[in-house]
A and B are shown apart, each in its own frame.
Chain A
Amino acid sequence: MGILDSKVPSGPLADKWTKHKNEINLVNPANKRNIDIIVVGTGLAGGAAAATLAELGYNVKTFCYQDSPRRAHSIAAQGGINAAKNYQGDGDSPYRLFYDTVKGGDYRSREANVYRLAEESVNIIDQCVAQGVPFAREYGGMLDNRSFGGVLVSRTFYAKGQTGQQLLLGAYSAMNRQINRGKIQAFNRHEMLDIVLVDGKARGIIARDMVTGEIERHGAHAVVLATGGYGNVFYLSTNAMGSNVTAAWRAHRRGAFFANPCFTQIHPTCIPVSGDHQSKLTLMSESLRNDGRIWVPRRLEDAKAIREGKLKPTQLKEEDRDYYLERRYPAFGNLVPRDVASRAAKERCDAGFGVNKTGEAVYLDFSAAIQRYGKEKALTSGLKDPDGETITRLGEEVVEAKYGNLFQMYEKIVDENPYKTPMMIYPAVHYTMGGLWVDYNLQTTIPGCYCAGEANFSDHGANRLGASALMQGLADGYFVLPYTIGDYLSKDIRTGKIATDTEAFDKAEADVRGRLQQLLNARGDKSVDYFHKKLGKIMWDKCGMSRNAEGLKEAIEEIAALRKEFYANVRIPGGMDEMNTELEKAFRVADFLELGELFAKDGLHRKESCGGHFREEYQTEDGEALRDDKNFKYVASWEYKGEPKDAVLHKEDLVFENIELKTRSYK
């Protein structure tokens, strides 16, 4: 195992977490008042952690680049949150949720972490309901569930297509309660630009006030990074414009290992790119695959006619449509996991069956669901012999109640009515399973630096199942980290306040100022976006839905060259000591330009296909991912050594004691 110790407790899987909680050290309430914790990022993981830590009695400082914690990008999660409540009585259990998640992740996650997640999932729903989160309910007043990809039970709790919003507002309200008590100090419109280590331990951060430009020092006994994923390395993704890797990358440069950077989730149902002006991509929730059927024309000439606008999808007869997911994966049909659905869409479009102008779109069709729901509604409303029009109207009403906001969002962007004509969708970068390496306690390889939520690598392996990100963010924040961090802090009760007028802080601040100045000094003639778009194109073309050795090698070279050009030729108007949105972007893109190279290096070294990482050289005869458990059943954890190309690989072998490794099949 080398220097990576996962610290997974011994004992039977189902008892590990309880046993661990019973054995770790606690900090007494009086001492908690003398301990400071910094939480960077206020999404589900960060917001939840900040609220619970403050409630326990620690002094918490939160940092977010948004103008309010409530705007973190967790807010955009649509479909739902999984929990093994088994309210539907369909045979669900924590074990099944654990099993589905490990299998869905293509056996590249840590068993003990995933089991703990499944165990805590139940608690999350109770907690959120108590906080006033208005989940969808049935007429009897009980909570409603729906189904998501890669599973055979209904365990997803939801609040229309705005589940992330409601959960985040719940965490934000819990934070507000603590802000009101003076236990959380919220630093909004602040960005962390470096982490400060004292005697090898994380003891604070350097942050920039984005309104005044002031560089600030903040000391603490521990630092929690809950800063989300790095999907924006692709420029176009479903992430918010400001989502970035900087906090995690700065920690990486100071000693935190970065794990599985190439594990990226490309989500199958997003609105296709409309032109060069595109600034971001919009997701259409996976929940739509409960009722939408995905298809392309069966014949190439029909696809061509549709692309040229000579034929409408609604004119195509049933037998002329290829419901390719139902054809290839009869057991799971349209609800196969995301990686499988994305690759299948790409395969059809590459073969010439794409249905929009650029040939990069497939249909997501609700007509069958509208008819089915319409008939059911007519029956329950006591209508005998309803005509076709009535059935359609009733069916559309049911679909609107379920997905109304998504349909509206689609119509505004595409200018087509998805009730009348099928939606066009295409895969887009959505989530990153990779992230900072953490042990069972969510601690990185820097003592005192913890990482939670999407920013860490731990629970989703090589592919995340739908409705599991919210679950992980809240489990980490509410229920895991507040326990495990206490074990570390129990040794800090005599440390006293962390001073920031020390050499370590002087040096870290000087470093940050130097970097900002370096960016401003380039005074070149290309904007930050110019470089970001170029990086995105390299990533999408060579590190996207399918990868090969040649492309990955090229990507490494091209990104390194682009990084060099960036530092020589970027143009940033304005100065450092004022609000400067271009400078903020430049600092982030500079880090993406390093991460992107490590990403490609990681993808090149992993000579297998698993989950979202599909290497063209390693596939079965029918084009499915070919895993290599003999050689790659490990977490690839990279140590920073200067340039990304010099990063050193450390392997954490994954031990499967409770699940038999199988070829993942959804057929």
Chain B
Amino acid sequence: MKLLLKIWRQQNASSKGKFVDYPISGIEGDMSFLEMLDVLNQQLIDKGEEPVVFDHDCREGICGTCSLQINGEPHGPDRLITTCQLHMRMFKDGDTIVIEPFRAKAFPVIKDLMVDRSAFDRIQQAGGYISVNTSGNTVDANTIPIEKTKADDAFNAAACIGCGACVAACKNASAMLFTSAKVSQFALLPQGRVEATQRVLSMVRQMDLEGFGNCTNTGACEVECPKGISLENIARMNREYLMASVKG
């Protein structure tokens, strides 16, 4: 396959970026998208140029490190996958592919395609936990039975990998899907109910402080989410938030 890549290059957070064209050939359908970028980088290094910087680590769709806005979509054209799971067989010979970093005020560019998503960490630090000591003096795990459907819903919310595709997909750069997934996981479990009121208030407050936009119920986040996190979580968080605000 021969392709034309249009890649965002930016030296650092304070410099101005621009698209640079890179024609590339010899790409096979079995390669992952990141392996295609590896091929490009190898060619750049061989020419003595600086390789394109992008975030990646596990390359099996679970760590949430990889990002990339590919032809305008977070994680590219396929559904329910991350960029590292996107394969080149999704593209045709002669295609032009536009590759940008995730765009959001709260995700400043570090270099080229790499962005700073530490805002997500700070939202979690604001309350995304159960305040239990970890030295092992808890009750037996089967003391509190949990309805299977609730446990499954909690798991489905907890499956979020924190990649930021929801923010990148949203026209308002809102982090509601991400935040609501964590709020939901704990709200659905009896262990998490104890601190539910304070948790949702703290996490939403931090989310707003980080400069994420508001939710206008478009649903692009759910479509682009590699883990299929459901919009129901946002509805649940809104409910939790309202109840918590009334309670104070």
Stretch of B48-56, B91-99, B213-221 lying at the A interface: B48-56
Residue of A nearest to B157 (CB): A134
The answer to whether B135 touches A478, judged by C-beta atoms less than 8 angstroms apart, is: yes
List residues of chain B with CB within 8 A of the CB of A160.
155, 159
Mark A570-596 against chain B: 1 for CB-CB distance below 8 A, else 0: 010110001101100000000000000
Roughly how many angstroms separate A129 CA and B190 CA in the complex, as a whole number? 10
Contact B136 A240 (CB under 8 A): no
A window 23-67: CB within 8 A of B: 48, 51-52, 55-56, 66-67
The 8 A CB mask of A106-146 against B (1 = contact, 0 = none) is 00000000000000100111111111101111111111000
**Which of B1-9, B137-145, B171-179, B238-246 is the interface stretch?**
B137-145
CA–CA, A130 and B124, complex, Å: 18
Q: Is B69 an interface residue (CB 8 A)?
A: no
CB contacts (< 8 Å) of A300 on chain B: these are none
A217 within 8 A of partner (CB):
no
Q: Within 8 Å of chain B (Cβ to Cβ): is A94?
A: no
CB contacts (< 8 Å) of B74 on chain A: these are none
- Specify which of B46, B62, B87, B148 is in contact with A138 (CB 8 Å cutoff): B148
A529 within 8 A of B: yes
In the complex, what residues of B have CB within 8 A of residue A169's CB? Answer: 158
Complex alpha-carbon distance, A180 and B161, angstroms: 21
Within the complex, the shortest CB–CB distance from A211 to chain B, in Å, comes to 6
Contact status A134-B158, CB under 8 Å = yes
In the complex, chain A residues whose CB is within 8 Å of the CB of B62? 75-76, 162, 164-165
In the complex, the chain B residue whose C-beta lies closest to that of A274 is: B30
Set A71, A127, A274, A573: member contacting B134, Cβ < 8 A: A127
Which residues of chain A are within 8 angstroms of B162 by Cβ–Cβ distance?
Answer: 68, 70
A619 lies within 8 A of chain B by Cβ: no
Report yes or no: B89 in contact with A143, Cβ–Cβ below 8 A: no
Question: Which one of B51, B111, B118, B132 has the greatest number of beta carbons of chain A within 10 Å?
Answer: B132
Encode A168-195 as 1/0 by CB contact (under 8 A) with B.
0100111011011000001010000000
Find out whether the CB atom of B148 lies under 8 angstroms from the CB atom of A137: yes
Task: Known A67-B117, A71-B57; judge A172-B45 contact (CB<8 A).
Answer: no
In the assembled complex, how far is the CB of residue A348 from the closest CB belonging to chain B, in whole angstroms? 24
B71: chain A residues at CB < 8 Å are none
Q: Mark A631-658, 1 if CB is under 8 A from B, else 0.
A: 0000000000000000000000000000
Q: Is the CB of B155 within 8 A of A159?
A: yes
Q: Which of A56, A132, A581 has the most CB of B within 10 A?
A: A132
The docked-state distance in angstroms from the alpha carbon of A582 to that of B48 is 12
The stretch among B17-25, B35-43, B229-237 that forms the contact with chain A is: B35-43
- Asked whether A279 lies within 8 Å of B142 as measured between CB atoms, the reply is no
Residues from chain B with a CB closer than 8 A to the CB of A18 are: none
A331 within 8 Å of B (CB atoms): no
Q: A130 contacts B58, CB within 8 Å?
A: no
Given A67-B55, A412-B87, A573-B50, A131 and B63 touching (CB < 8 A)? no
User: Which residues does chain A contribute within 8 Å of B132, judged by CB atoms?
Assistant: 127, 130-131
Q: Which residue of B lies closest to A412 (CB)?
A: B85
Say yes or no: is A561 at the interface (Cβ < 8 Å to chain B): no
Asked if A125 and B141 make an inter-chain contact with CB atoms under 8 angstroms apart, the answer reads yes
Whether the Cβ atoms of B35 and A130 lie closer than 8 Å is no
Indicate the size class of the contact surface on chain B.
35 or more
Q: Which residues of B contact A138 (CB under 8 A)?
A: 148
| CB closest chain-B residue, reference A142 | B142
B195 to chain A, nearest CB (A): 10
CB contact under 8 A between A174 and B87, given known A67-B117, A132-B192, A134-B185? no
A251-290 to B contact mask, C-beta < 8 Å, 1/0: 0000000000000000000000011011110110000000
Complex interface bits, A459-500 against B, C-beta within 8 A gives 1, otherwise 0: 000000000000000000011001000000000000000000
Contact residues in B for A135 (Cβ distance below 8 Å): 141, 151
CB distance from A117 to the nearest CB of B (A): 14
The yes or no answer to A408 lying at the interface (CB within 8 A) is yes
Interface assignment of B223: CB less than 8 Å from any CB of chain A: no
- Residues of A contacting B56 with CB < 8 Å? 241
CA distance A55 to B57 in the complex (A): 30
Q: Does B212 lie at the interface of the complex (its beta carbon under 8 Å from any beta carbon of A)?
A: no
Chain B residue numbers with a CB within 8 Å of A127 are 132, 134, 136, 138
Q: Which residues of B lie under 8 Å from residue A525 when comparing CB positions? A: 46
A389 at the A/B interface (Cβ < 8 Å)? no
Identify the closest chain B residue to A65 (Cβ).
B57
A211 to B112, CA, bound (A): 12
Determine whether A615 belongs to the interface, using a CB cutoff of 8 Å to chain B: no
Q: Nearest chain A CB to B59's CB is how many angstroms away? A: 5
**A280 adjacent to B60 (CB under 8 Å):** yes
Residues of B within 8 A of A280 (CB): 59-60
Q: Which residues of A sit under 8 angstroms from B14, Cβ to Cβ? A: none
User: 5 new A-B pairs (CB below 8 Å) besides A126-B140, A179-B125?
Assistant: A48-B134, A87-B142, A143-B142, A241-B58, A478-B134
Q: In the A-B complex, list the 3 residue pairs whose CB atoms are closest, starting with the nearest.
A: A141-B145, A173-B129, A134-B155
- 11 residue pairs of the A-B complex, CB under 8 angstroms, read A127-B136, A166-B155, A174-B129, A179-B125, A211-B110, A277-B30, A282-B59, A412-B87, A478-B136, A579-B53, A579-B110
